[in-house]
Amino acid sequence: MDEALKNRIVIILAILSVVFFFGTLSSCSSAIRQKTARDKEMAARLALEEKTSKYVQEKSALEEKAKAKENQIQELKVALEAAKKALVQDQLVNKSLKEELEKVTKLKETLEEELRQVLINGKKPKK
C-alpha cells in the first residue's frame, strides 16, 4: 500500500504540476497580451498628445496673427479717421477758397466794368 500511495501521490503531483504549468503558460500569455495592449495604448496616447501639442502651437500662432491683424486694423482705422478729418479740412479750405475766388472774380468784373465806364465817359463813377 505504501507503493500504491506513493504512486498516487506522484500522479497527483504530476497532474498538479501540469495544471500549474498550463496555468503559468496561460498567465504569461495573458501578461504578454496585456503588455502589448498597454504598449499600443501608450503609443496612441503619445500620438494624440503630440497632435494636441501641435494644434495648441498652431492655435497660439494663429491667435498671435489674429491679434497682429486686429492691431493693424486698429491702426488703419486711426489712419482712416485722420485722413477723413484731413479731407474734411481740405474740403472746407477749398470751399473757402472758391468763395474767395468768386468774391475776387465779382470784384474784378465790377472793377473792369467801372474801368470801361470811366474810359467811355471819362469820369469817375458814382458810388
Q: What pLDDT sits at residue 63?
A: 97
Expressed as residue numbers, the domain containing 87 is 1-93
Which residue's entry shows cell 486686429? 70
119 occurs within a structural domain: no
105 occurs within a structural domain: no
114 occurs within a structural domain: no
The domain total for the chain is 1
4 occurs within a structural domain: yes
22 occurs within a structural domain: yes
Q: What pLDDT sits at residue 126?
A: 56
84 occurs within a structural domain: yes
- Chain centroid, CA 117 distance in Å: 78
What are the Cα distances from residue 5, in Å, to 14, 16, 18, 20, 55? 14, 16, 20, 22, 73
User: Is this structure's pTM higher than 0.85?
Assistant: no
Q: What pLDDT sits at residue 121?
A: 85
Q: What is the pLDDT along the chain (127 residues), one digit of tens a residue?
A: 688 889 999 999 999 999 999 999 999 999 999 999 999 999 999 999 999 999 999 999 999 999 999 999 999 999 999 999 999 999 999 999 999 999 999 999 999 998 888 888 876 555 5
Residue 124 · residue 118 · CB < 8 Å: yes
